[in-house]
Chains A and B, each alone.
Chain A
Amino acid sequence: MSALLEVSDLSVEFRSRAGTVHVLDHVALSIARGETLAVVGESGSGKSVAAFSIMGILDDAARIPNGQVQFGGMDLLNANRRDLDEVRGREMAMIFQSPRTALNPIRKVGHQIEDVLRRHGPVARGDAKRRAIEALEQVRIPDPARRYDAYPFELSGGLCQRVMIAIALCCKPRLLIADEPITGLDVTTQATIMDLLAELGRETGLATLLITHDLALASQYADRIAVMHAGQVVETAPTASLFAAPRHPYTAGLMAATPTSTTSLDALESVPGRIPPLNADLPVCRFAERCPRRVAECDDPGPRFDADVQAPDHYFACRRPL
């Protein structure tokens, strides 16, 4: 299957007063049409920066020393401005980490959707309203015609989140990047939103890049999972094979730290230590300092990425895998 989005060998650095910060290091991710890829990892591991690089909205202090981002056959890092603007927002859209701050508090939600529609091409006035209401309907907002006139503060957190998704989806993108789309919502609202995205994937071939802390959520909704640590993808595999046999010690650590319906407090473990500062001279393996399985050869230079012989889609960056 050819990928819709293919990120390869992507590195991102930030210039800062403390020197250069190596935030992404040779990151590779790919998503096929209709597929959901979850990116999981600790806070600061580079999940949002990866999403921003794909969307082309990195801040000015960022530099991309190497890498490619291919989307539907187009080379996004070297494309001209016009082509890029056409793709971003229309063919791929993003839901940000904090929905309330991303909506304009003093503009009716219906008008906010129309603004986005107009930005991507001329729309007749009556047509805009009809399409905005359709967009609200598509995300299963009850009574969409009435909600068209609502201001964000009149809507609960769950409804605001759905409006954000309606805005992201109104131009019928092929790729949706969802950065922690449901944190802070209760589990029934979470499930409704995730079901909606899964349904759109099946019906329209929408591909989703789902960024989350929550491994259980990723396991329930993603086809594949990429685990990030300190700016590197340390393991990537189809969801079932990742859970059946995690190969990277960090993945196993995250799993042991996730409370499930049967874990006891004693059985819950945390990953020791923290992500190393990304401005220092970084070791070959950025997890080595925290790793219970570290051996001398972990510090040898050279490539670390490997594939599982039994499961060809399963990659991990470890010299001493589980």
Chain B
Amino acid sequence: MLDIQGLSKLYPVSDGESAPMRALRGWARHQPRPAPKLHAVDDVSFTIGTGESVGLVGESGCGKSTLVSLITRLIEPSAGTILFEGKDIAAINTRAFARTPERGAIQVVFQDPHDSLNPRHSAFDAIAEPLRRLKKRSTAECRPRVAELARDVGFPEELLDRLPHQLSGGQKARVNIARALAPEPRLLVLDEPTSALDVSVQAVILKLLDDLRTRLGISYLFVSHDLNVVRLLCDRVIVMYLGRIVETGTAEQVFEQAAHPYTRALISAIPRTIEESPVERIHLPGDPRSPVNPDPNVCRFYGRCPRGVDLCQESEPRLLSMAPEHSAACHFAEEVQESALAQG
């Protein structure tokens, strides 16, 4: 249902040189020197099937939220296509997108349930707002649908008149989800939907999300730092590093047979309770490479990779298939995978 090809978002950044200076310098050299670009999302391709749940993980700043904003058409891509049910929505500009039927079909639930609700709007208003705006329904017409949505997400109907500050964190999270479900989306993008919640509330919300997916057949793109949560909720996992996809596969392939050294480091760093068998942590020394004008011939992970050799500085590894559904971008993917399997 969602097919993304070659998607990029580059932000121009200042190099400490003013625009007139740059123009002057460009004129002196007979060609303008372009501003350096921060590669937030760089040539990313992947698909999400109908009813499929895909997890997106990676280091802070690797481009997850930028990718979410691109897919939900809040920002303009620098390059690439986003086919949603066959239609290239990347070609529609963000203003025009707000008026297309796809606007309701792709919904997003943001990170913090506490700041994503308007403090002066009741739970009812929050859930009804997308119906009014996208489906042009009156308040009275909204009533039965809002009640139905509240039931779907397990939000007590008698609390619909309450304002956000009168609700608990878990109740606010439910309102957010109900609101995203209101226009009957076919793709739900969740950017860290549970990170601000307690474990006990989180358990309820995770079960709810899983149940909604089976009942309503919605597809999920699920962004999270908690890999144990991703493992519980996702069929497939995408691992990003510095704007690039470095590994993708089924949850089992990524968690059990990781073939990229970054994925392995990530999995080794999941906090484990005393009862779980201990895993030797893989340390990542050194400094991450700069996302500004990255060298096209150097692996993005070079410098922190425990393996890094000369080859990694001479050619950037491309995403290559390891097995059906499973690919990794590392010159040594097979060896990495073998050693992962050997260590259990």
Closest to B209 in A: A265
- CB of A70 within 8 Å of the partner chain: no
Q: Is A185 positioned at the interface, with any CB of B under 8 Å from its CB?
A: yes
Asked whether B60 lies within 8 Å of A189 as measured between CB atoms, the reply is yes
A262 to B84, CA, bound (A): 35
Please, what's the 1-or-0 string for A194-212, where 1 marks a CB less than 8 Å from any CB in chain B?
0000000000000000000
Is B320's CB within 8 Å of the partner chain A? no
Contacts of A104 in B (CB 8 A): none
Stretch from B18-26, B102-110, B222-230 contacting the other chain: B222-230
A244 to B273, CA, bound (A): 11
Interface-located stretch among B131-139, B179-187, B197-205: B197-205
Q: Which residues in window 269-305 of B have CB below 8 A to A?
A: 269-276, 281, 283-284, 286-287
- Is the Cβ of B60 less than 8 Å from the Cβ of A261? no
Q: Which residue of chain B is the closest to A142 with respect to CB atoms?
A: B287
Assembled-state Cα–Cα distance A258/B229 (Å) = 10
In A258-272, which residues have CB < 8 Å from any B CB? 258-265, 268-271
B206 located at the interface, meaning its Cβ lies under 8 Å from any Cβ of chain A in the complex: yes
In the complex, the answer to whether A156 meets B61 with C-beta atoms within 8 Å is yes
In contact, B207 and A157 (Cβ under 8 angstroms): no
Closest to A188 in B: B269
* A238-286, CB < 8 A from B: 239-240, 243-244, 253-255, 257-265, 268-271, 274
Determine whether B195 belongs to the interface, using a CB cutoff of 8 Å to chain A: yes
Q: Is the CB of A257 within 8 A of B199?
A: yes
Measured CA separation A186–B59 after assembly (Å): 5
Residue A187 is within 8 A (CB to CB) of chain B in the complex:
yes
Closest to A160 in B: B60
Does A158 reach chain B (CB closer than 8 Å)? yes
Within 120-156 of A, Cβ neighbours of B (below 8 Å) are at 142-143, 156
- Please name the residue on chain B nearest to A264 by beta carbon: B232
Instruction: Report how far A244 CA is from B274 CA in the complex, Å.
Output: 8
Decide if B225 touches A257 in the complex (CB within 8 Å).
no
Q: Which one, B59, B226, B232, contacts A188 given CB within 8 A?
A: B59
Q: Which of A184, A188, A269 contacts B203 (CB 8 A)?
A: A269
C-alpha spacing A219/B274, complex, angstroms: 6
Contact A187 B286 (CB under 8 A): no
A158–B225 Cα distance when bound, in Å, is 13
Q: Tell me, in angstroms, the Cα distance from A188 to B266 when the chains sit together.
A: 6
B interface, size bucket = 35 or more
Which residues of A have CB within 8 Å of B232? 259, 263-265, 268
- B225 and A214 contact, CB distance less than 8 A: no
Q: A199 to chain B: closest CB distance in Å?
A: 12
| Chain A positions within 8 Å of B60 at CB level | 156-158, 184-186, 189
Q: Residues of A contacting B192 with CB < 8 Å?
A: 184
State whether the Cβ of B164 lies closer than 8 Å to any Cβ in chain A: no
**From A141, which residue of chain B is reached at the shortest CB distance?**
B287
A contact residues around B229 at 8 Å (CB): 259
Binary CB contact string for chain A from 7 to 44 against chain B (1 if under 8 A, 0 otherwise): 00000000000000000000000000000000000110
Give Cα distance in the complex from A255 to B272, angstroms.
12
Minimum CB–CB distance for A291 against chain B, Å = 13
Which one, B57, B228, B233, B274, contacts A240 given CB within 8 A?
Answer: B274
Q: B275: shortest Cβ distance to chain A, in Å? A: 6
Task: Assess whether B231 is interfacial by the CB under 8 Å rule.
Answer: yes
Q: Is the CB of A216 within 8 A of B203?
A: no
Is A2 engaged at the interface, CB distance under 8 Å to the other chain?
no
Asked if residues B273 and A185 are in contact (CB atoms below 8 Å), the reply is: no
- In residues 55-71 of chain B, which contact A (Cβ within 8 Å)? 57-61
Q: Give chain A residues whose Cβ lies under 8 Å from the Cβ of B198.
A: 42-43, 213
The residues of A that contact B204 with a CB separation of less than 8 Å are: 270
Known interface pairs A216-B271, A239-B274, A264-B232. Does A186 touch B266 (Cβ–Cβ under 8 Å)? Answer: yes
Contact A219 to B273, CB < 8 A, known contacts A143-B287, A259-B228: yes
Give the shortest distance, in Å, between B95 (CB) and chain A (any CB). 27
In the assembled complex, the CB of B285 is this many whole angstroms from the nearest CB of chain A, namely 9
A57 within 8 A of B: no
A253 to B201, CA, bound (A): 12
The answer to whether A215 has its CB under 8 Å from any CB of chain B is yes
Kindly list chain A residues whose C-beta atoms are within 8 Å of the C-beta of B58.
186
- Contact in complex: B266, A216 (CB < 8 Å): no
Q: In the bound complex, do residue A257 and residue B195 qualify as a contact, i.e. CB atoms below 8 Å apart? A: no
Judge whether B169 is part of the interface by a CB distance below 8 angstroms.
yes
The answer to the question of B322 belonging to the interface, with a C-beta cut-off of 8 Å to chain A, is no
A190–B286 CB distance below 8 A: no
B168 contacts chain A at the CB level, 8 A cutoff: yes
Contacts of A158 in B (CB 8 A): 59-61
**Distance of A270 Cα from B199 Cα, bound (Å):** 8
Tell whether A260 pairs with B273 under 8 Å between CB atoms, given A183-B195, A213-B198.
Answer: yes
Report yes or no: A220 in contact with B206, Cβ–Cβ below 8 A.
no
Cβ of A102: which chain B residues have Cβ within 8 Å of it? none
B35 to chain A, nearest CB (A): 16
A253 and B274 within 8 A (CB): no
A305, B175: Cα distance in complex, Å: 39
Q: How far is the CA of A143 from the CA of B57 in the complex (A)?
A: 27
Could you jot down 5 A-B contacts, CB within 8 Å?
Answer: A215-B273, A259-B206, A259-B226, A259-B228, A271-B200
Chain B residues in the interface with A (C-beta under 8 A): 57-61, 168-170, 192, 195, 197-204, 206-207, 210, 225-229, 231-233, 255, 265-266, 269-276, 281, 283-284, 286-287
Top 6 A-B pairs ranked by shortest CB distance? A270-B203, A142-B287, A216-B271, A271-B200, A259-B228, A187-B269
Given contacts A186-B59, A261-B255, could you give 11 more A-B pairs where the C-beta distance is less than 8 Å?
Answer: A158-B61, A184-B225, A186-B266, A187-B227, A187-B270, A191-B269, A215-B199, A240-B274, A243-B273, A257-B200, A259-B232
